Structure 1
Amino acid sequence: MTAQKGRDLLLKVFNSTTFAYVTVAGLRSRKLAFNASQVDVTDAESAGRWRELLAGAGINRAALSGSGLFKDQASDELVRSAFFSGAILNWQVVIPDFGTVTGPFQIAALEYSGQYNGEVLFDLSLESAGQLTFGAL
């Protein structure tokens, strides 16, 4: 497998008006992280005093983040309104030559910034809010 272009990693949000996923405009960087908590079941009789974990007992979660240029497009309004209403929307991450991760996420942080001699930037953080699915490309 050859190296992939970072710009091909896409973050999309489901638009319930058009019934289609819309790419979030202006993103320069995107990140998808998976985490799983562990359940420690170590006790005084654990072999060699090594930590023991209970398989399949922890909680899985995913976090999405991105940052880029504020473009004031339709996807920006969709993101803003979802943040202010606390809505949980369906999001999709397209990982080039690998697959898609799709599911419900809630916006945990939305930040805007800008300097007097530069463009308006935004940062976006999302947390999974239910089961995610993976689809191979």
Structure 2
Amino acid sequence: MAAQAGRDLLLKLDQDGNGSFQTVAGLRSRRVALNATAVDITNSDSSGRWRELLSSAGTRTASLSGSGLFRDQASDASVRQLFFAGEIRNWQVVIPDFGTLTGPFQVTALEYGGRHDGEVTYELALESAGELTFAVL
């Protein structure tokens, strides 16, 4: 498989809840982390005293972070409103040549910055807030 360009990883928001996702930002750097906690059920009868885990019992989470430029003022306003309201909305992360991760996320961090001779940039963090789906492209 050939390498994928990082710029092709897209962050999209279902702004009005109708299932129509729109790209909200030009992300210059981004990161998606999928995690699962394990449930340890090791006891004194465990074979060889090796750790045993309970299948399908842990909590799964996804975290997404990125920085870059908002697509336009409307995208900036939508994300900012979600942050201040603490609302959870459906987001979609398109991972080129792999698939699409879709589901509810909450904006947990929103930072703005900029240089005197450049554009305003932002940093954004999202945390999963429900069941996510992964569809292969």
- TM-score above 0.5, yes or no: yes
Q: TM-score, normalised by structure 2?
A: 0.91
* Matched residues, number: 137
- The 5-angstrom pairing of residues 1-137 of structure 1 reads 1-16=1-16, 20-70=20-70, 72-137=72-137
After superposition, the Cα gap between the structure-2 partners of 1:118 and 1:45, relative to the gap in structure 1 and judged at 3 Å, is: same
Gaps of 5+ in 1: none
AA in 2 matched with 1:45: D
Q: Distance in 1 between matches of 2:48 and 2:73?
A: 59
Q: TM-score, normalised by structure 1?
A: 0.91
Decide which moves more: 56-65 or 10-19. Answer: 10-19
After superposition, the Cα gap between the structure-2 partners of 1:39 and 1:19, relative to the gap in structure 1 and judged at 3 Å, is: closer
**1:10, 1:30 within 8 Å by CA — same for their partners in 2?**
no
**2:17, 2:89 within 8 Å by CA — same for their partners in 1?**
no
After superposition, the Cα gap between the structure-2 partners of 1:17 and 1:40, relative to the gap in structure 1 and judged at 3 Å, is: closer
Compute the displacement of 1:18 (Å).
7.7
AA in 2 matched with 1:38: A
> Secondary structure at 1:7's aligned position in 2?
helix
CA RMSD of aligned residues (A): 1.7
Deviation track 1:43-71 (CA, whole Å, cap 9, x = no partner) reads: 12222221111111101111111101356
Gaps of 5+ in 2: none
> Secondary structure at 2:45's aligned position in 1?
coil
> Secondary structure at 2:79's aligned position in 1?
helix
**1:101, 1:132 within 8 Å by CA — same for their partners in 2?**
yes
Q: Distance in 1 between matches of 2:25 and 2:91?
A: 14
Compute the displacement of 1:34 (Å).
0.5
